[in-house]
Amino acid sequence: MSFDYDLFVIGGGSGGVRAARVAAGENSAKVALAEEDRYGGTCVIRGCVPKKLMVFASEFSGTMQDAQAYGWHVKPGALDWNTFHGKLVAELDRLEGVYRNILKNNGVESFDQRAHVVDAHTVELADGTRKTAKHILIATGGHPVVPEFPGSDLAITSNEIFHLEKLPESILIVGGGYIASEFAGIMNGMGVKTTQFYRGAQILRGFDEEARGLICEEMRQNGIDVRLGTNVLEMTKDGDKIRVKATDGTEDQFDVVMYATGRAPNADNLGLEAVGVERGRKGEIVVDEYSQTGVPSIYAIGDVTDRVNLTPVAIREGMAFVETVFKANPTPVDHELIPTAIFTQPEFGTVGLSEEDAAAQEPVEVYATSFKPMQKAFAGGTQRVLMKLIVSQATRKVLGCHIVAPGAGEMIQLAGIAVKMGATKEDFDRTVAVHPVMAEELVTMRQPVRTA
């Protein structure tokens, strides 16, 4: 049977574009891609890229104070949101153009409309056109979800936070994950009076407890009103403000309320159930280690599969899919020991197991140090950083590395290579320290602070 295409990709985010580009460019496959919204997906358009630019913008308020302490005659001012936002929008437009050109230059045919699956080898576009393909790849990503409660329609999500008409005077951010915690730091740094509610006992659930505790403490020191064990009961409009009644008995007014309490896969209305593609409890597409669904010709990658919802992971999954399907080299996706950075303020870099998870698995030694970094201490700051290694008593392998410090994301990328290779504590010890830098502590900790 002949098909219109070798591969039809639904979704133009990082994972879908990478798979389409490599299948077409390196393997000369005939490829088409359909995207109903903007090319680049969550990461480029309403996620990591604009968020990191906002982090950069928000950090200058602290830099100004440090500069004064170092002897620079600078006067802190307020952020001009319109200037920053105009440049942000222009940059996102530029990046979307880059993604479109990548597809075009590799010979991928693009359709700027929604597509859904009709059968194992057919997709239908929004205009009713049907296309056939030997393989179908679904890479439709996910979206933020606001739970339903009285007044929940007054909340915005991370999608809208990038496009505020003006910077609010006050904001409530609800959630304790990395998106909520990152935006609390961003808004606070931009001069917005920032409150964060989280119903749990500590923010950043699932990460190392000591690291989470330090980050929360530092966020409070920076002026963020972090209220743990607190949730919203109801919200009402009160003139230009939003009145929020909370479970801790308080009632406050905010200009903006942003919810970052969870995301859901974009897998509805794709025709999956009709062709027999299984979906999981959260609506995610169920796939095997090769990203293949129960329908052999249909694959899925990225956040729509709800495995590890990170952009570089979606890209890896796209590459593994091409290896498996177009290079006859079955390649399972490796989700082990993924280094990641959380752009809270302070920044958090982590790879491997938390102290709690490692100790539940086997006897471990914990090497940790917390100190004031030279740059901040000189300026009279009280900020602390944390360097932490979790080491197996039996094999001496470093099972986890956790860094809370400025530039932690850059550090963890390199530490992640060592941990992924199976480096032991002695391998770290044999490495000469780079002085004076914060990261030298990773190779100079001689005695464990505790065993677990």
- CATH number at 438 reads 3.30.390.30
Q: Does the annotation place 182 within a ligand binding site?
A: yes
Q: Which of 232, 261, 290 is the last residue of a domain?
A: 261
- Of 217, 236, 261, the one marking the end of a domain is 261
pLDDT digits over 405-443, tens only?
A: 999 999 999 999 999 999 999 999 999 999 999 999 999
Residues 352 and 254 in one domain: no
What's the CATH code of the domain at 14?
Answer: 3.50.50.60
- The verdict on 257 and 268 lying in the same domain is no
Is 393 inside any structural domain? Answer: yes
Contacts of residue 181, defined as CB under 8 A and 6 or more positions apart, other chains included, come to 175, 196, 203, 204, 215, 219, 342, 344
Whether 99 and 191 map to the same domain: the answer is no
User: 66 in a domain, yes or no?
Assistant: yes
284 within domain boundaries: yes
Amino acid identity of residue 67, one-letter, is: A
- Same domain assignment for residues 15 and 98: yes
175 annotated ligand binder: yes
Which residue bears the tokens 């393989």?
A: 135
Tell me whether residue 332 is in a domain. Answer: no
The answer, as to whether pTM is greater than 0.95, is yes
pLDDT score for 1 = 82
Alpha carbon 104 to chain centroid distance?
Answer: 28
Q: Model confidence over 439-449: pLDDT tens digits?
A: 999 999 999 99
299 is in an annotated binding site: no
Residue pair 34/131 in contact by the 8 Å Cβ criterion: no
Q: Let me know whether 240 and 111 are in one domain.
A: no
Give dist(CA 60, CA 343) in Å, integer: 15
Are residues 411 and 298 both part of a single domain? no
Q: Is 178 annotated as a binding residue?
A: yes
Answer for the pair 184, 198: CB distance below 8 angstroms, yes or no. no
Q: Is 303 annotated as a binding residue?
A: yes
Q: Distance of CA 88 to CAs 95, 97, 140, 183, 218, Å? A: 11, 14, 24, 16, 28
Q: What is the mean pLDDT of the chain?
A: 97
Instruction: For residues 210 and 125, state if they share a domain.
Output: no
Residues 33 and 114 in one domain: yes
Percentage of the chain surpassing pLDDT 70? 100
Are 52 and 159 in a shared domain? no
In a 10 Å sphere around its CB, with 0-12 CB exposed, 13-18 middle and 19+ buried, how is residue 244 labelled? buried
What's the domain count of the chain? Answer: 3
Same structural domain, 241 and 226: yes
Percent share of the chain, pLDDT over 90: 99
Q: Which of 277, 302, 326 is the last residue of a domain?
A: 326
At 277 the pLDDT is 98
- 109 located within any domain: yes
Helical (H) or strand (E) element with 65? helix 48-69
Active site amino acids: 435
Q: What is the pLDDT of residues 32-76, one digit of tens each?
A: 999 999 999 999 999 999 999 999 999 999 999 999 999 999 988
- Quick: pLDDT tens for 295-318: 999 999 999 999 999 999 999 999
The response to whether 180 counts as a known ligand-binding position is yes
Residue 333 lies in a domain: no
Cβ neighbourhood burial of 112 (10 Å; 0-12, 13-18, 19+):
middle
The reply, when asked if residue 52 is annotated as ligand binding, is: yes
User: Span 369-396, mean pLDDT?
Assistant: 97
On whether both 64 and 163 belong to a single domain, the answer is no
Q: What is the mean pLDDT of residues 250-257?
A: 98
**What's the pLDDT tens digit per position in 126-167?**
999 999 999 999 999 999 999 999 999 999 999 999 999 999
Distance between CA atoms of 161 and 167, rounded to whole angstroms?
10
Does residue 335 fall inside a structural domain?
no
Is 331 part of a structural domain of the chain?
Answer: no
Amino acid 53: pLDDT: 98
Q: Between the CA of residue 245 and those of 161, 186, 235, what are the distances in Å?
A: 22, 24, 6
Domain of 293 in residue numbering reads as: 5-143+264-326
- The answer to whether the Cα torsion of 378, 379, 382, 384 is positive or negative is negative
The beta strand positions in 376-452, using DSSP E, are 385-392, 398-404, 450-451
Rounded-to-integer distance, Cα 319 and Cα 444, Å: 38
Tell me: do 21 and 48 sit in the same domain.
yes
